[in-house]
Structure 1
Amino acid sequence: MRRNPQLATVPLGVVEEQHNSQVLTSLSAAAAQAGLRVGQPVRDAHAMCEKLVTRARSQPAEAAFLTALQRWAGKFSPWVAPEGDDALVIDLTGCAHLFGGEESLLQVVQQDCEDLGLSVRMGLADTRGAAWALARFAGQSAGSHRTGDAIDQEARATRSRASKRRHWTKGGAAPVVTPGPAAGAHPISAPGQTYCALSPLPVAALRLDAEMTSQLSRLGIRRVGDLLGQPRAVLARRFGRGLVMRMDQAMGSAPEPVSPARAPAHFAVRMTLPDPIGLESDLLAGLDRLLPRLCESLEKKGRGARRVLFQAYRTDHDIQSVEVGLARAAREPAQIKPLIALKLGSIDAGFGIDMLRLEAVQTEPIHARTPVGHLEAGAAVSTRLASNTSMDDLIGRIGARVGLEAITRLKPASSHIPEKASTVHAAAWSTPFDGPWPDPPNPRPLLIWQPEPVQAPDSPKVPDVFRWRGQRLRAVRAIGPERIAPEWWLDDPNWRSGVRDYWSTETEDGQRLWLFYAHGHLMSSGWFCQGTYA
C-alpha cells in the first residue's frame, strides 16, 4: 500500500481462481468492515461493496514476502517458522525478558508492523495451538450453525440446565463472563492458564476444518470448553483421532515444536585491499585469490555456479559489477575465470578500488564423480568427450559476450507444418536432441519467415515473372509442387488460406526462393514467399 497510498483507505481484496470461479482470498480492514469474507465469490462481493478494488493473487510474491518477514522476525527469537501461507510462529522461550516482558515484546512487534505498513494479529500462549487460537479467535463468541432468525432452541433434556442458567434474573447470582481483550490489548495467556484462555473460544480455534466444526455445532458443542469436557474415547470413535490430536496439541499434551526453516545457502567471498587498485592486472590477481575460496565453498555443499557476480567497490562508494553465466554448473576456477576476465574491461576504477567481492548468484547441485585408475583412463577420456563439455564451455564463452539468452538450439517437433517442425530452446538450459533428425519429404530452406505476398497472376502455375520485396524477378527453374494441408483440428490464423503448393524456385539473378500458392479457403488465394535456400 505504500506504493499506492490510496489503497489504504478503500476496500481491497485479493482474488484467486478456484474451481473455475473467482473468489476472495484475503481482505483489507476496510473490506472486512463492509461485510465481505474470505472465500466469497467476487461477483457477490462487488454486489455488496461497489467500491471494492481487487488485485490478482501472486503466490510466489507472497512466499517471498513471508520469507522476508521470517528474516525480520529473527530479531525476537532464533526459532521462527512459517505457519501456513499467511502467518509466522515464534518460540519465545527465554527471549521475552530481553524486550521488557511479553506485553512489551508484543508492543514492539505491533509498532514495527505499523512502520512497515502492515496490520498484524498476535497471540501468546504456552502451546503453539493455543497461540494460533488466540491470534485468530480472541474475543469472538461461539455462534450457531443455524441460518436465518436467531432463535434459541433447546431439547427437553436441557431445559433443566436452562432454568438454572436463567435463575439469576430472579435474584440469583449473575454468571461469570470472561471478558475479551480490551481495545489495544494483546491476547496473552498466563502461564498454566491455557484451559481458561481457550474455553470461551469457538471450536474452530482448535484448527478444525469447516465440516467438523459444523458437525460439532449441530451437536451443541460450539465452544472449546464444551469440547474439552467430553469423553475422549467417544470423540475419537465418532470424529477420528484428528480431533483428539488437535485438542492435545492445544493443551500441551502432544508436543508440537517449532522447527525453523534452514537458512538458504549463500556463496560469497570478499577481499579488502590495503591500498586502492585500478589496473586490470590487479583485478585479475584479486580474482585469482577469490575464485579458489568460492569454489571450495561450492564443493563443500556439492553445488556448482550457473551465474557469478563480480563486484568492485570504489573509494567514492560506487560499485562496479559484472555478471557472467555458465552453460553448465561449474566449480573449477579455470572454467569461471576466463568468462569474468572478458568483462573486466568494462569496470571503471575511478579513484581506486578498495574491496572486491565475488558471489555465486545462481547455483545447481553437481553429482559426485567416481575416480578411475590407469586401466580405465581411456574409457574416462571417451566418456568425457562424449559428454560434450567442450560445447558447454564454448556456449559459456560466447554467452559472456552476447548473453546466454541469445544462443538457442532447435529440437524437432511432431508437426508437418514447416514453421512448426522445430521448437527453439535456450542452449544454456537445454540438452542437444538425442537421435536422428527427421527428414522432410523435400529439402527445407535455410531461412523460414512469415509468408510475404508475391505479386503474380492468381494461378496455380508457377509465374514466369513476379515481384517480391520491390524486386522484379524472373523464374528460370522450379521444382515441385509439394502440397501441405493445414492442421484441420486447429484454428490457425496463418493457415486460413487453405491448402498450399510449395515450389523451390530459382530466379534469373541466382536467388533460390521457397514460394507457395495458397488455394484459398477462408481467405483469397495467391502467391507467397516463405523462405530462401543457402
Structure 2
Amino acid sequence: MAQLHQNTKHQTAPPVPVRGNSDCNRSPSDTLPKARRRVVQEPLWVAVSFPFLPLEALGKTTQQQPMAVYAQQGQTHTVITPNQPAQKSGVRSGMTLTAAQVLSPALQAVPQDVSAESEWLARLALLASRWTPAVSIAGDDLLLEISGSTRLFGGANQLLGKIRSRLTFETQSPCISAMPTAASALLCVRNGKSLCITAKEGIHAVIRKLPAKAVVAGAKQQRALKQYGISTVGDLLRLPRDGLARRLGPDLVHQLDRLLGKQA
C-alpha cells in the first residue's frame, strides 16, 4: 500500500543578502540594490511506524487479557500483532496461531481487518497535516517532510517533540525517526530505531548496523546474502558497486544510493 495523502514539499527559508562590492563615491540613487539569494534548506523526513496498528484499528488496545491479531497465509493462521499481555506469555509476530495458543491458552484471537487499518492510517495522516502539508502513507507507516515547518514550531527538536507527544496520545508506542532521506527514515522505524539525524553525513553510521535483509527483497537475494556472508547494511556498503550490482542486482545499488541521499 503506497497511498499518497499529500505529495508536496513545503520548503521555505528567509532570503539571505549576498555581499556586493561597495562604492563610496556613488550616490544612493546610482547604487544597485544588493543581490539576495534563498538559502537551500535540506529536506528532513520523519517516518512513523505503529507497532500495534492492527489492534488499534480494531479498537483493541485496552484489553487486559492476552490477544493477538492474525491473518491467513496460505493454509496457516499467522500471528500479525500480539498485545503486550500476549507478548509476556511468549507470543510473537510471525508464529502460527496454533503455537501461540499453546503458549497462551487464554489467548483471544481476532482476524486482521486491512480496511480498518487503512482508515486508521488515513486518520493519522490527516492529524499529521497540522505539522506539514507533505504527508504520505508508506505501507503501514507515515512519512512527513518537515524542513519547511521547523521554523514555525521553534526548531526541529521542538517540532519532533510535538509530533511524538500527540501521536503517543493517539497510538500505542509509535516509533519516530527523523532522517535526511525518506528511505533512511523508513528503514530506521521499520527496524525499531527512534532517532533524529539532520545531516546526510550521519546516515551511514546509523544504518550500517541494520540487517542487510531489511533492504534486500526476494528469496533468491536473501540466499545470496548468506552465501556471501553479508549480514548488515554496512557489509553491503563496503562492497564494490559493480560487483554488488552483478551479484544482487542494480536495483539494490540504487536503493543504497537513495538511503544515503545520493539519488533522488
> After TM superposition, is the score higher than 0.5?
yes
Q: 1:50 to 1:102 in 2, by over 3 A?
A: farther
Is the 2:224–2:248 Cα contact (8 Å) retained in structure 1?
Answer: no
1:238 is the counterpart of 2:264: no
What is the one-letter code of the residue matched to 1:99? F
Alignment equivalent of 1:37, drawn from 92, 95, 98: 92
- Number of the residue aligned with 2:116: 61
Deviation at 1:98, TM superposition (A): 2.5
Alignment equivalent of 1:95, drawn from 141, 146, 149: 149
Give the secondary structure class of the aligned counterpart of 1:123.
strand
Q: 1:58 to 1:5 in 2, by over 3 A?
A: closer
Name whichever structure is richer in helix by fraction.
2
1:17 is the counterpart of 2:72: yes
- Number of the residue aligned with 1:435: none
- Number of the residue aligned with 2:196: 188
Runs of 4+ in 1 over 4 A off after TM superposition: 1-6
Q: 1:57 to 1:254 in 2, by over 3 A?
A: same
- Return 199-208 or 57-66, whichever deviates more: 199-208
Deviation at 1:214, TM superposition (A): 4.7
Give the Cα separation in 2 of the matches to 1:247 and 1:62: 30
Give the Cα separation in 2 of the matches to 1:51 and 1:106: 39
Give the secondary structure class of the aligned counterpart of 1:237.
helix
- Number of the residue aligned with 1:202: 211
Give runs of aligned pairs for residues 420-435 of structure 1, distance below 5 A: none
Give runs of aligned pairs for residues 41-190 of structure 1, distance below 5 A: 41-84=96-139, 86-138=140-192, 186-190=194-198
Give the Cα separation in 2 of the matches to 1:39 and 1:215: 23
Deviation at 1:213, TM superposition (A): 3.8
C-alpha RMSD over aligned residues: 2.4
Name whichever structure is richer in strand by fraction.
1
Give the Cα separation in 2 of the matches to 1:107 and 1:211: 41
Give the secondary structure class of the aligned counterpart of 2:176.
coil
- Number of the residue aligned with 1:442: none
Give the secondary structure class of the aligned counterpart of 2:72.
strand
Q: 1:31 to 1:108 in 2, by over 3 A?
A: farther
What is the one-letter code of the residue matched to 2:231? R
Deviation at 1:254, TM superposition (A): 2.1
Give the Cα separation in 1 of the matches to 2:62 and 2:122: 26
Larger RCO (CA under 8 A, 6+ residues apart): 2
1:253 is the counterpart of 2:244: no
Give the Cα separation in 2 of the matches to 1:32 and 1:107: 28
TM-score, normalization by structure 2: 0.69
Q: 1:4 to 1:122 in 2, by over 3 A?
A: closer
- Number of the residue aligned with 1:371: none
Give the secondary structure class of the aligned counterpart of 2:252.
helix
1:505-533 deviations in Å (ceiling 9; x for gaps): xxxxxxxxxxxxxxxxxxxxxxxxxxxxx
Give the Cα separation in 1 of the matches to 2:203 and 2:168: 29
Is the 1:207–1:246 Cα contact (8 Å) retained in structure 2?
Answer: no
Deviation at 1:222, TM superposition (A): 1.0
Give the secondary structure class of the aligned counterpart of 1:76.
coil
What is the one-letter code of the residue matched to 1:226? D
Give the secondary structure class of the aligned counterpart of 2:78.
strand
Deviation at 1:122, TM superposition (A): 1.3
- Return 104-113 or 120-129, whichever deviates more: 104-113
Q: 1:108 to 1:40 in 2, by over 3 A?
A: same
Is the 1:194–1:251 Cα contact (8 Å) retained in structure 2?
Answer: yes
Is the 2:79–2:96 Cα contact (8 Å) retained in structure 1?
Answer: yes
Is the 2:178–2:197 Cα contact (8 Å) retained in structure 1?
Answer: yes
Give the Cα separation in 2 of the matches to 1:52 and 1:208: 33
Deviation at 1:112, TM superposition (A): 1.3
Q: 1:196 to 1:6 in 2, by over 3 A?
A: closer
Give the Cα separation in 2 of the matches to 1:125 and 1:118: 22
Give the secondary structure class of the aligned counterpart of 2:172.
coil
Structure 1: segments with no counterpart, 5+ residues? 140-185, 256-534
Is the 2:208–2:234 Cα contact (8 Å) retained in structure 1?
Answer: yes
Deviation at 1:34, TM superposition (A): 4.1
1:192-220 deviations in Å (ceiling 9; x for gaps): 21111111221134364565345314422
Give runs of aligned pairs for residues 443-458 of structure 1, distance below 5 A: none
Is the 2:216–2:222 Cα contact (8 Å) retained in structure 1?
Answer: no
Give the Cα separation in 2 of the matches to 1:5 and 1:216: 38
Deviation at 1:32, TM superposition (A): 4.0
1:291-340 deviations in Å (ceiling 9; x for gaps): xxxxxxxxxxxxxxxxxxxxxxxxxxxxxxxxxxxxxxxxxxxxxxxxxx
Q: 1:30 to 1:234 in 2, by over 3 A?
A: farther
